[in-house]
Amino acid sequence: MALLSSPFAKKTNSVTQMMLWVVAATLPGLFVLMYFFGIGVLVNLIIACSTALFAEALILKLRNRPVLPILWDGSAFVTAWLLALALPPLLPWWMTVLGTAFAIVFAKHVYGGLGNNIFNPAMVGYVLLLISFPLEMTTWLPPQSLAENPVGVVDAISIILSGSASDEATVNMLKQGVDGYTMATPLDHIKTELAQGYRIPEAEASPIINGLSGVGWQWVNLAFLAGGLLLMFKKIIGWQIPIALLLGMGVISLPLFFVNSDHYLFPMFHGFAGATMLGAFFIATDPVTASTTIKGRWIFGLGIGIITVLIRTFGGYPDAIAFAVLLMNMAVPMIDYYTKPRTYGHNKRPTKDSKATRGGSDAQ
């Protein structure tokens, strides 16, 4: 549109730039993931991103939208990128394709495309896979240092694409850790142990647990934290949601921990386990589906933090960022409505005033 009206000056920022910054900020996390869990992470990324771009292009064509300019905004790419980062490294390729395509077609374009979707597309794709294939989705490779059979590049690609490794080693063999059992994430491990009647200190004796959370996982989370802080300082994301999310986890996990430290995890563990940092800085901050007001961002972040810890502690799934994000996505329109800032020169929000008068007339 040729602009005939002011302003004629424009900041040199764009959606594409923002998206590229998001991708760039995940790189430390990606490298750490690859270091600990092998090349499968990268293979997932490639599969997911190609699927997303193809699905986006196809559906834009079907909807008679300009394909290249919208593809260029980078949003589909970022959706796939973030989804792939959350997937287990040896997930069969078709699951990745299914999840990504579902995210783009259903979570995004059925609502009207970028800017109109209510739910975080990456998390919709993730949850679809999680509830359809719970076993595959919670089975992670052991960190390479703990693996009985470290996975080579060829093996990883072969497993993802065909389901079995080149030298006919079974997937389960590759997925085994030092104790010979198929590996799960530290959160999953703790959950299973608790279910079997162990106490947390006993569960934590496992070789998979060390330091802040678990082998590899603390570094993954630290790397995503670093990238997230970069985004925050570059003002690509607001700081309220990540901080509120972590705070939300703290306010719920700390009292639980003090009540019974045998049964409830130390807040720090929550903070550096699973997808916490990825979720806090990259997933929950998706501007389209997050609350848009400042106060709303606080509520949104706190909500995700609290729900995550509640599901991790009392629910059926080891990690819960995806569910928590989707649940809070649902609440966004209401949060936004009740957190309008006070406009210059106004005492109260006009809606409150009008509501007051409405209430008054009702009383009559």
Residues binding other proteins: number (CB under 8 A)? 44
Q: How far apart are CA 300 and CA 304, in angstroms?
A: 6
Q: Does 69 bind other proteins (CB under 8 A)?
A: yes
CB 39 within 8 A of CB 153: yes
Of 9 and 195, CB closest to other proteins: 9
Of 194 and 328, CB closest to other proteins: 328
Phi/psi of residue 151, nearest 5 degrees: -90, 130
Of 255 and 341, CB closest to other proteins: 341
Q: How far apart are CA 119 and CA 108, in angstroms?
A: 8
Of 297 and 312, CB closest to other proteins: 297
Q: Does 341 bind other proteins (CB under 8 A)?
A: yes
Which two structure tokens, joined as six digits, stand for 68?
């290249």
Q: Which of 107, 40, 101, 108 is nearest to 73 (CA)?
A: 108
Selected from 343, 356, 357, 358, the binder of other proteins by CB under 8 A is: 343
Site for other proteins in 85-144 (CB under 8 A): 113-116
Site for other proteins in 273-312 (CB under 8 A): 287-288, 290, 292-294
Q: How far apart are CA 268 and CA 253, in angstroms?
A: 9
CA atoms within 13 A on the CB side of 13: 8
Q: Does 359 bind other proteins (CB under 8 A)?
A: no
Q: Does 163 bind other proteins (CB under 8 A)?
A: no
Q: Does 7 bind other proteins (CB under 8 A)?
A: yes
Report angle CA 16, 290, 140 to the nearest 5 degrees: 80
Which 3 state secondary structure label does DSSP give 132?
helix
Of 189 and 297, CB closest to other proteins: 297
Q: In this chain, which stretch among 1-9, 131-139, 248-256, 311-319 interacts with other proteins, using CB under 8 A?
A: 1-9
Q: Does 3 bind other proteins (CB under 8 A)?
A: yes
Strand boundaries in 90-225, DSSP class E: 209-210, 213-214
Site for other proteins in 47-66 (CB under 8 A): 66
CB 140 within 8 A of CB 185: yes
Q: Does 15 bind other proteins (CB under 8 A)?
A: yes
Residue where the block lists tokens 């330091």: 211
Selected from 134, 163, 255, 350, the binder of other proteins by CB under 8 A is: 350
Q: Does 70 bind other proteins (CB under 8 A)?
A: yes
Which two structure tokens, joined as six digits, stand for 280?
């806090």
Q: How far apart are CA 157 and CA 149, in angstroms?
A: 15
Selected from 64, 258, 316, 344, the binder of other proteins by CB under 8 A is: 344
Q: Read off the DSSP letter of residue 237.
A: S
Write out the residues near other proteins by the rule CB under 8 A. Answer: 1-11, 13-15, 17-18, 66, 69-70, 73, 75, 113-116, 238, 287-288, 290, 292-294, 336, 340-347, 350-351, 354
